[in-house]
Amino acid sequence: MNEPTPLPAGDTSPTGDGLSASIQRVAAKVQLIADAVKGLHQDRAQLEGKIEDAQKRIQHILSRLPEQSDGRQLNLLGEVVAPPTPEDDNEPTTH
């Protein structure tokens, strides 16, 4: 690989100014990239928090599901539903 050769301390040639300007442009681009990466990290942390909240809500809903052997109506909204009584199964018939 090529080793960069340092410029003499008093070098004010156009090449030195061009190099300095290039370094400044690269530094500005690096700063923009660093800011973008920082923003992406913040977005990721926020999304991970939302995922955790959603997983907790799902787990809460799943914990409220009756066992498979339970024949009751599913109530996922948390409203109190009275269990069916035997009288409810006998609908009046008209002849």
Kindly indicate the confidence band of residue 17, based on its pLDDT and cuts at 50, 70 and 90: confident
List, as one string, the DSSP characters of 36-84: HHHHHHHHHHHHHHHHHHHHHHHHHHHHHSPPTT--SPP--S----PPP
For the question of whether the overall pTM of this predicted structure is more than 0.85, the answer is no
Name the 3-class secondary structure at 82. coil
Q: Which residue is associated with the tokens 């809500």?
A: 57
Q: For 40-93, what is each residue's pLDDT tens digit?
A: 999 999 999 999 999 999 999 988 887 776 666 655 666 665 666 656 555 556
